[in-house]
Amino acid sequence: MIKQPTKNKWWRTVGRTAGWMVLIGVTTVATGLLILVVPVFGNQGLIVRSGSMAPAIGVGDLVVVRPHFDKEIKGRPLYTVGDVIAYKSLDNSGMIVTHRIAEVRGTESNVNYVTKGDANNTPDEGLVAVEQVIGRQIFLVPYIGKALAFGKTKLGYVAFVLLPALLVIGGEIRVIWREMRKGKLTGKQARLGRANRLIPEMADRVLKRQRKEEEVVMVLKPIVRREKMLVPLDSVVARLAVFAGAMIFMVPSTWALYTDSEVSADNTFTAGCWTQSTAPVHLYPPDGMVAGAGSHWVTSPYLDWMEATAACGGVIKYQYQSAHNAEFSPVAYSSGLLSLSQIAAPGTPDGVYWWHVRSYDGENYSAWSDPWRLTVDRSLGSANYVVISEVQIAGIGGADQDFVELYNPTSDDVNLINWDLRMRNSAGTESSLYADIDRTIQAHGYLLWATSDDSFDASVGADIFNGSNLVGGGSVALRDNDNLVIDQVAWGTGGGTQFVEGVAFGTNPGADESIERKAVSDADAVTMGPGGADVTRGNGFDSGDNALDFVLREESEPQNSVSSTESL
C-alpha cells in the first residue's frame, strides 16, 4: 500500500474548508436577498437614488419597508406622523418616493398624508392617499444599495449574472470532459490486454504498474466516495451567485422628489410622447355658486367637468384638488387618479372652496384647469320672513306695465296691516309705491301689486294696485309697521342710494321680462322657468346679495293670493 503524502492532504483540507465558507456566505446573501425582495414575505427592499432624506437615509442605502396595519381594525393601514413611508407617485406611477409623514389629514375612512423629505425645505405638493402607500421603513442597510444599483447596470449584469452563469457552464463542461476521458482510458486498457497476449514481457510490466495504481486507488477510495456524494463546491457557489445576481433586478429604486440624481430607473431610454393632454373644462357647480340648505348641490353634492382629449392616445384619467384659497396652498384634498370626469363630494363641510382638475393620459399630465369657487353654507335656506319674489318694470304693452310680487316662505300666515312698499328711482329719490297694504298673506302663498295704468292690474289679477310706476336702475323695499326694511332689491345701474342687499342685480329686465328670486341657492333661470325642477318650490332663498338671489326670466309669471302655495 502506498502512503498518501501529508502535504497534499493538508492542502485538500484547506481547500475544502474554504469552499464550504464561500458556500455558506453566498447562501446567506442569497437567502437575505430573497427575504428582502420577494413580496410574498411581506417586506420590500428599495434602493435609495436621491438625497432628499439625508442624513437619515443616504444615496445608495437599502431601505426595507413593510405594510403596517391597525391592530384594532383588521386590514386597515395605519401610519402616523414621523413614519418614513414608501409610496407610489401620482405624477409617475412607476416612481416610488420615500419620505417622512409630516401631517395626517382626513377621517378614518378617508386618510391622506402630508409628506416631506428631511432635506427639503417645504412639504411635497399634493396629498398621499393611503392606497398609494407601499409600507413604512422597518430597517436600513447602509451603502449596499450602491452595489445593488450597480448590479442593475450593463456592467453589473455582466459581473453579477453573466460571469457566474459562465462559471456554471464551464463546470458542467469540465464534468462532461472527465467522463469522456474515463471512456478513453477503458479503451486503452483493452488494447493493453491484446498486447499482453502478443508480448508477454511488456504485459508483465503493465500488470505491475497496474497493481501499483490499484494500491493508490485503495488509499484514495474513501476520499473519492465522499467527493461523489457532493455536488462540486464551485458549481454550487456559481449557481447561487447567479440566483443572487438575478435577485438584484427585483429590487426597485426609490426616488425622493429631489433633483440631485440623474440615473434612470432601468437604464433604458426610449422616445416618448411629450404633448400634454387637454386641461378639463369645469361644468358644475358653476363658478361662485353658493350652496345653501335644500339646494341641489347640498342634496346631491358632486363636481363635474368635460372629458379631456388625449394627445398621445391612451385612457384619460383625472386628478382633482380642492383648497380654501385660490393659490391651493395648502391643498385641502387631493384625489387619486379618477376614471370618470366627475367626483362625488358627500359630507363636504360648510366653507369656501376653490377646485381644479387636470387630466392624465398615461404619459403626461395636462395643466390644471382654471379654479372655480364654491361656497357651502347650510345656514342659508328659505327666509323666515316675507320677501320680494318677482319684479317687472315693463310689459309688452308698454313701460307702465309694472308689478311687484311678495312671497311668504314661512309656515304661518302674516298680516301686512300698516306695511308698505317704498321705491327709489335711478337717481336714488325715494317715494311710496303702495302705502298700508293691510292684507294677510298665507303661509307659502303670494300677494301681488301692479300698476293700474291701462288696466294692467286686472290683466294679472293684482291684489293691490295704484298708478305708481317703476323705472330702470331703480329699487324697491318692503317695510313693516315699525318702519323697518324687511326685504329690498335693486336692479340695473342706478345712481344715488338704492334699496339694495349686497350687489344690485346687474340687468334691467326688458319688456315682459322679470327678475325672480331663487327657490334655492343653486337654482337658475332654467330650473325656475316653465317645467323646471324649482318652478313649484317657492321663492324663499335669501343670501343677502341681490346679484346671487335673483335670476332673469325671459317671460314673467306673476302670482297672486289665489295662486297655489309653494314650498321646498
Task: For residues 285-314, give the mean pLDDT.
Answer: 87
Strands of 179-305, DSSP E: 253-254, 282-284, 289-291, 302-305
Eight-class DSSP state of 278: P
Closest to 290 (Cα-Cα) out of 542, 553, 552: 542
CA dihedral angle for residue 28, residue 32, residue 33, residue 37, rounded to 10 degrees: 160
pLDDT of residue 127: 80
Cell of residue 112, nine digits: 391622506
pLDDT of residue 217: 44
For the chain, what is the mean pLDDT?
Answer: 79
pLDDT of residue 221: 43
- Assess whether pLDDT exceeds 90 at residue 340: yes
pLDDT of residue 347: 87
- Per residue in 238-267, pLDDT (tens digit) is 555 555 555 544 445 454 433 233 333 333
- Decide if 319 contacts 334 (C-beta within 8 A): yes
Whole-angstrom Cα Rg for the chain: 44
- Assess whether pLDDT exceeds 90 at residue 70: no
- Per residue in 19-35, pLDDT (tens digit) is 667 667 666 666 666 66
C-alpha distances out from residue 95 to 110, 113, 159, 280, Å: 23, 18, 27, 25
Domains in the chain and their CATH numbers? 6-23+154-248 (no CATH), 38-151 (2.10.109.10), 282-375 (2.60.40.10), 387-553 (2.60.40.1260)
- Assess whether pLDDT exceeds 80 at residue 479: yes
pLDDT band at 219 (very low <50, low <70, confident <90, very high): very low
Residue 227, phi-psi category: left (phi > 0), alpha (psi -120 to 50), beta (remainder): alpha
pLDDT band at 268 (very low <50, low <70, confident <90, very high): very low
- Contacting residues for 372 by C-beta, under 8 A, at least 6 apart: 282, 285, 286, 287, 288, 354, 355, 356
pTM over 0.85: no
Give CA–CA dist 553/525, Å, rounded: 6
Task: For residues 442-453, give the mean pLDDT.
Answer: 96
Helix 6-37 with 233-248: angle, nearest 10 deg? 20
- Decide if 566 contacts 538 (C-beta within 8 A): yes
